[in-house]
Amino acid sequence: MSLKFTVVDAFTSKPFCGNPAAVIVLPENHTLPDSTLQGIAVEFNLSETAYIIQPADCSPKRGEDGEEYVDFGLRWFTPAREVRLCGHATLASASVLYADSSLIPASVNEIRFSTLSGILKARRINSTPPKVELQFPSGDIEPASAEVEKFACKMVAEAMEGVGVQFVGISRREPYGIYLLIEIDDTAPLKGMMVDPGRFGPTGTQFPIVTICQRTKSEAGIDVQGYDYRMFAVPVGVAEDPVCGSAISFAANYWESKTKPREYTGGDKYVEFTNRIRAVSSRGGEIDVICDGGWAKLRGEARVASRGEIYL
């Protein structure tokens, strides 16, 4: 038996950039056990492998707004375990589906994925260049307790020498209870900084997913609107995720409160305000983020890196 796969670089239009995810559209009524799905994720050894589950009826439906959408299931696996939420692999999965007119008609611009975090929407955006918009639940960031702040400062001191901590935050909204937000000072740029990811993943930690962020500066050192960030998740099998979408939706409201979003006019039905968020890992990526009540809308590009078959 074999399965076709597509590796997609999410949140970029450039080769060797963004965050790669393997995407597999599972056969209808498949009976593959979770151990096999996990084994495939280990074989790819990417931060995420996404499995798209075809429903019995994948014909378009009409939503409350009168627009058509299609339903699919979606699961995400790191090399270590299944996770509840993943942004870049959702963007990658949507791009694979939108490219296949046998699964989604060209007239349909919305996918509703059934996931462990509920129904997540992915929309085609009428923009140049073309982008996909993910609608994820946003985190409600609040200051961490003194104990957690002390723990965070210790991790930063060990992982990032000479860097000061300005803020430590958590969210009580699921699925972000295991995420930790740490804003560092601007004594050194986060981009290119030497980091020891292992220091962010002590065994048994309450917060296995750590997002480090810093206000964006231009090459000339001038403050611009937006934030730079990097994400580390050693306990879930990801030393550093090149561009983590769920880390963005987790921190989006906090970042918006600290910046003045700019006007976005990429669509013809609305005018919204966005923050430009930069992932400053070695691969890098850029994401437009719009906060809409309890939701964060993440807009990004995606490109196919490779296609093939994996044999079981």
How confident is the model over 198-237, as pLDDT tens digits? 999 776 678 999 999 999 877 666 556 689 999 999 998 8
CB under 8 Å, gap of 24 or more: what pairs does 39-44 form?
40/3, 40/77, 40/310, 40/312, 41/77, 41/78, 41/79, 42/79, 43/310, 44/5, 44/7, 44/79
Q: At what angle do helices 245-258 and 87-98 cross, to 10 degrees?
A: 110
pTM: 0.90
Task: Say what the pLDDT of residue 162 is.
Answer: 85
What is the C-alpha to C-alpha distance for residues 193 and 271, in angstroms, rounded to an integer?
A: 36
Task: Say what the pLDDT of residue 270 is.
Answer: 45
At residue 294, φ and ψ (nearest 5 deg) are: -85, 15
Pick the closest to residue 208 from 253, 259, 155 (CA basis). 155
| Per-block mean pLDDT, blocks of 10 residues, the chain (312 long) | 97 96 94 97 97 91 90 96 96 97 93 97 90 96 96 94 94 95 91 93 82 84 77 92 96 88 52 81 94 92 97 96
Q: Is 48 annotated in the active site?
A: yes
What is the C-alpha to C-alpha distance for residues 72 and 298, in angstroms, rounded to an integer?
A: 19
Task: Say what the pLDDT of residue 269 is.
Answer: 45
Tokens found for residue 50: 């996404």
CB 120, CB 278: distance < 8 Å:
no
Task: Say what the pLDDT of residue 217 is.
Answer: 76
What is the C-alpha to C-alpha distance for residues 49 and 26, in angstroms, rounded to an integer?
A: 12
| DSSP label at residue 237 | T
What is the C-alpha to C-alpha distance for residues 135 and 115, in angstroms, rounded to an integer?
A: 13
What is the C-alpha to C-alpha distance for residues 247 and 243, in angstroms, rounded to an integer?
A: 9
CB 240, CB 209: distance < 8 Å:
no
| DSSP label at residue 147 | H
CA distances from 180 to 24, 194, 210, 281 (A): 30, 20, 5, 18
What digits encode the pLDDT tens for the residues 265-304? 555 444 567 788 999 999 999 999 999 888 999 999 999 9
What is the C-alpha to C-alpha distance for residues 257 and 169, in angstroms, rounded to an integer?
A: 13
CB 295, CB 137: distance < 8 Å:
yes
From 28, 43, 48, 161, the catalytic residue? 48
